[in-house]
């Protein structure tokens, strides 16, 4: 029988994950190469590599997998990776609604789950997709439970206090 890890929601800072062992900090990026608002600013205050790698990934997108649903894992410490997850189409609400793409969130989190399983890592994040991307938590939370919790991966969401 497989166990399901319940999603933990705590007050705190997702850039300072509270767990032992390997950790993945997951967050959502747009598909335009823009990095400058929201949670990415907190990431950049801690580590320059995720922004630098994301911008290079976007710049060289003709020759790589940069697209909605793709994930770039950037190691920032021996025990921490930042998962740059492309799950936002553009940056503004338009005729097709808010920029969040729930199917891309699911594909991204499936890839993060694979990395977590291989590296025996826990996953840490803010309420992904619910800030600038305009997503609804009641749609995001079940995706997290399905992709991570159902695979027995510890996941913690941080509400910035």
Q: What is the pLDDT of residues 94-130, one digit of tens each?
A: 888 899 999 999 999 999 999 999 999 999 999 999 9
Residues spanned by the domain of 63: 8-159
The candidate with the shortest Cα–Cα distance to 128, out of 93, 159, 89, 161, is 159
For residue 2, being part of any structural domain is answered with no
The label of the residue with tokens 């580590």 reads: 47
Tokens 């996941």 identify what position?
Answer: 155
pLDDT digits (tens, 9 = 90+) for 28-66: 999 999 999 999 999 999 999 999 999 999 999 999 999
Q: With respect to residue 49, please indicate whether it lies within any of the assigned structural domains.
A: yes
Q: CA–CA separation, 30 vs 89, rounded Å?
A: 6
Whether the full predicted model's pTM is greater than 0.85, yes or no, is yes
End-to-end CA distance of the chain: 37
Domain count within the chain: 1
Residue 6 has pLDDT above 70, yes or no: yes
Q: For residue 88, tell me if it sits in a domain.
A: yes
* pLDDT value for 2: 58
């Amino acid at each position: 029988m497989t166990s399901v890890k319940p999603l933990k929601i705590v007050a705190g800072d997702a850039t300072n994950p509270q767990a032992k062992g390997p950790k993945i900090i997951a967050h959502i990026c747009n598909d335009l190469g823009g990095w400058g608002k929201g949670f990415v600013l907190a990431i950049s205050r801690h580590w320059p590599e995720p922004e630098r790698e994301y911008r290079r990934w976007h710049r060289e997108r003709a020759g790589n997998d940069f697209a909605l649903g793709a994930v770039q894992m950037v190691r920032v410490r021996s025990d921490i990776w930042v998962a740059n997850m492309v799950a936002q189409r553009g940056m503004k609400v338009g005729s097709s609604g808010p920029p969040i793409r729930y199917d891309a969130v699911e594909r991204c989190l499936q890839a993060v789950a694979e990395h977590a399983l291989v590296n025996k890592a826990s996953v840490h994040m803010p309420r992904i997709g619910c800030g600038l991307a305009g997503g609804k938590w009641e749609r995001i939370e079940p995706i997290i439970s399905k992709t991570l919790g159902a695979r027995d991966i510890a996941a913690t969401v941080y509400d910035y206090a």
